Amino acid sequence: MTVCWLNGQIVPREKATVSIFDHGVLYGDGVFEGIRFYNNRVFRLESHLQRLHDSAAALALDMPFSLEQLAIAITDVIEAFHLADGYIRLVITRGEGRLGINPFNCSTPTVFIIADELALVEDSIKAEGAKLIVASIRRTPSSSLEPRIKSLNYLNNIQALMEAKYANADEAIMLNHEGKIAEGSADNVFIVKNNIVKTPPTIDGALEGITRGVVIDVARELGLTMLECSLTPYDIYTADECFLTGTGMELLPVREIDGRSIAHCPGETYQKIYHGFRGLIERETASLFC
C-alpha cells in the first residue's frame, strides 16, 4: 500500500491532500525528486537530496526541512512500506498563497513524500528495446528554464511524450532550439558509435540525471571511452547502439527511432554497462546484516 508523508508526518492516503491555493497546484511552482530504493535502501540518496537542494536554491524556495530531516523521513516512509523495493516521490511546493503568481505571498512550502510500487517498463520493451521518435516540440531553452532544475513544470516533456504515444512509440527524444539532442521526455540519452559512448552535455538541455552520472562513471571504470558531446538526430540514426537512462527504468535499450533500426539492440556495450550498473546497485544496497 502507498505510504504518504506530509509536512512532517506519515498520514493516511485520504488525508494526504494539498490546498487548491498551493502554488505547486496553481502554477507548477515547486521541485521534486524521483528516487528508487532496493532492499529497503535508497540508491544514491545523497545525490538526489543534493539535486533537490540545488533545484530549490535556484528557485529561491526555502526548504522547511533540512536534508538530514528529509533523509530520516524517507527512511521512515520506506520502513512503513510493505515492499523492500519501490519508488519514492519527494516534492516541495511553494506552498499556499494568494491567487497571483507572486511567490512571496506564499507562507510555508508544502513538503510531501510518497512511497509506491514501481511502474516497471514492460518486460517486452526491456528485452526488445524501445521505439522512439524525435518530437517536433523543442525542449524549453535553458535561458528560459534551466534544465538542471527538476521543477514541477513538465508540460514541455508531456507534450513530447504525447507525440510519441500518438505515433505508437514508447518515448520521444527532445531537441533543443538549435536542433541538438537534449534528452528524452523523462530520461537521458546515450549512444555508442565505433566503441565510443556519447551523451549530450547538460548545457544542451538535459537534466543532470543521477542515473546518467552513474552510467558515465561505470563506462569509464569499464575502460570505455566516454564523451559528453553535442549530438543530432543523425548521430542516433547512424549509431551502433542507443539507450536511455532514468531512476525508474534504469537502462533501456533502443531498437528504433523515426523508423530507422538501431544496428545492435541490446548491444554489447549496453550489456556491459548494464551489468556494471546492476552490480553497483547490488553492492550499494546490499543488506547490512548479511
We find the least distance from the C-beta atom of residue 174 to ligand PMP, in angstroms, to be 8
Q: How far is the CB of 104 from ligand PMP (least distance, A)?
A: 28
Which helix (H) or strand (E) segment holds residue 158: the answer is helix 155-166
Residue 73 gets the label, from left (phi > 0), alpha (psi -120 to 50) or beta, of alpha
- Whether 195 contacts 189, CB under 8 Å: no
DSSP code string of 199-229: E--GGGT----HHHHHHHHHHHHTT-EEEE-
Q: Which stretch binds ligand PMP (CB under 6 A): 72-80, 90-98, 107-115, 186-194?
A: 186-194
202 forms part of the interface with ligand PMP (CB under 6 A): no
User: Which set of grid coordinates corresponds to residue 167?
Assistant: 505515433
Q: Which of 3, 172, 181, 207 binds ligand PMP (CB under 6 A)?
A: 207
User: Does 140 contact ligand PMP by CB under 6 A?
Assistant: no
- d(CA 93, CA 180) in angstroms, rounded, equals 31
Cell of 191: 549512444
**Residue pair 115/88 in contact by the 8 Å Cβ criterion:** yes
**Residue from the set 34, 64, 201, 276 that interacts with ligand PMP by CB under 6 A:** 34
Determine the Cα–Cα distance for residues 240 and 289; give it in Å rounded to an integer: 43
Q: Does residue 150 carry a catalytic annotation?
A: yes
Residue with cell 535502501: 41
At 107, list the grid cell: 507562507
Binding of ligand PMP at residue 187 (CB under 6 A)?
A: yes
Q: Taking the alpha carbons of 54, 57, 63, 65 in that order, is the dihedral positive or negative?
A: positive
Count of residues that interact with ligand PMP, criterion CB under 6 A:
14
Q: In angstroms, what is the minimal distance from the CB of 259 to ligand PMP? A: 24
Catalytic residue among 150, 180, 193, 198: 150
Member of 151, 211, 269, 285 binding ligand PMP (CB under 6 A): 211
| Interaction of residue 210 with ligand PMP, rule CB under 6 A | yes
Q: Does 55 bind ligand PMP (CB under 6 A)?
A: no
Q: 24 or 209: whose CB is closer to ligand PMP? A: 209
Exposure of 100 in the CB half-sphere (CA atoms within 13 A): 4
Among residue numbers 229 through 268, which ones bind ligand PMP (CB under 6 A)?
245-247
Q: Tell me if 212 contacts ligand PMP by CB under 6 A.
A: yes
Closer residue to ligand PMP (CB): 55 or 211:
211
137 in contact with ligand PMP (CB under 6 A): no
Longest dimension (CA), the chain: 56
* Closest approach of ligand PMP to the CB of residue 255, in Å: 20
Q: Which is nearer to ligand PMP, 186 or 254 (CB)?
A: 186
Three-point CA angle 240, 245, 251, nearest 5°: 75
Interaction site with ligand PMP (CB under 6 A)? 34, 157, 183, 186-188, 207, 209-212, 245-247
Any idea which residues carry the catalytic annotation? 150
